[in-house]
């Protein structure tokens, strides 16, 4: 007989490569709603990450340290299985845009089929974070932009070191973009 998951525990998952102020806002708000938040740092096989799973877990742990009811765990596999494993009943998700809404809606329906006892709760992103994604942050860092409004200091420095130590190849020169002359 399986034990009923706990509705006072919510799980917030992502790759967090890197964790942003937008992620932290969802964690902060979720921690005020639920007794316990488990942040699941996962691997998405469709995403190439800048940081290793261990580095991402460490970064997330450092920035959520002020929240007494938040813990961080690494996971691999289906999110619903991870949610069940930690004894939760709720998946917490942030929504930034309508494209997020379409993706998250499809995922929540699939997750309900996989485990009907687990619900998804959505929190809308604050206006100031609605455009922020980890992909955007990596691009800003790579191109030398200011990061202070997007990521905490505990993330900013390792991010700058990583892009400095592992530079991306420059875009093709203009002449390479022109069609060959005939």
Domain-embedded: residue 159: no
Set 96, 130, 156, 162: catalytic member: 96
**According to the model, what pLDDT value does residue 16 have?**
97
Q: Is the pLDDT of residue 175 over 60?
A: no
Q: Is 29 a catalytic residue?
A: no
Q: Is 166 a catalytic residue?
A: no
**According to the model, what pLDDT value does residue 47 have?**
87
CATH code for the domain of 63 = 3.40.50.620
Q: Is the pLDDT of residue 48 over 90?
A: no
Domain-embedded: residue 156: no
Q: Is 149 a catalytic residue?
A: no
**Tell me: the pLDDT tens digits for 63-116?**
999 999 999 999 999 999 999 999 999 999 999 988 788 889 999 999 999 999
Domain-embedded: residue 155: no
Is residue 174 very low, low, confident or very high in pLDDT (cuts 50, 70, 90)? very low
Average pLDDT, stretch 136-157?
94
Domain-embedded: residue 116: yes
**According to the model, what pLDDT value does residue 95 have?**
93
Domain-embedded: residue 145: no
Quote the pTM value.
0.87
Domain count, the chain: 1
Domain-embedded: residue 150: no
Shortest CA distance to 23 belongs to which of 117, 152, 172, 119? 152
Domain-embedded: residue 1: no
Set 56, 84, 134, 138: catalytic member: 134
Set 23, 36, 93, 138: catalytic member: 23
Average pLDDT, stretch 150-174?
82
Q: Which domain covers residue 97, as residue numbers?
A: 6-134
Average pLDDT, whole number, for the chain?
90
Q: Is 93 a catalytic residue?
A: no
Set 47, 131, 161, 164: catalytic member: 47
Domain-embedded: residue 126: yes
* Spatial distance between the Cα atoms of 118 and 131, rounded to a whole number of angstroms: 28
């Amino acid at each position: 007989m399986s034990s009923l998951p706990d509705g006072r525990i919510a799980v917030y998952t992502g790759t967090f490569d890197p964790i942003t102020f937008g992620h932290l806002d969802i964690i902060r708000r979720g921690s005020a709603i639920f007794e316990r938040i488990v942040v699941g740092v996962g691997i998405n096989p469709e995403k190439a990450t800048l940081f290793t799973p261990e580095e991402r877990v460490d970064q997330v742990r450092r920035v959520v340290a002020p929240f007494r009811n938040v813990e961080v765990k690494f996971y691999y596999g289906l999110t619903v299985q991870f949610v069940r494993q930690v004894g939760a009943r709720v998946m917490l998700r942030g929504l930034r845009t309508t494209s997020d809404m379409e993706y998250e809606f499809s995922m929540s329906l699939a997750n309900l089929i996989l485990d009907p006892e687990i619900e998804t709760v959505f929190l809308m992103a604050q206006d100031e974070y609605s455009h922020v994604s980890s992909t955007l942050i990596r691009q800003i860092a790579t191109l030398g932009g200011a990061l202070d409004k997007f990521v905490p200091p505990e993330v900013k420095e390792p991010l700058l070191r990583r892009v400095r130590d592992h530079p991306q190849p420059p875009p093709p020169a203009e002449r390479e973009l022109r069609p060959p002359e005939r």
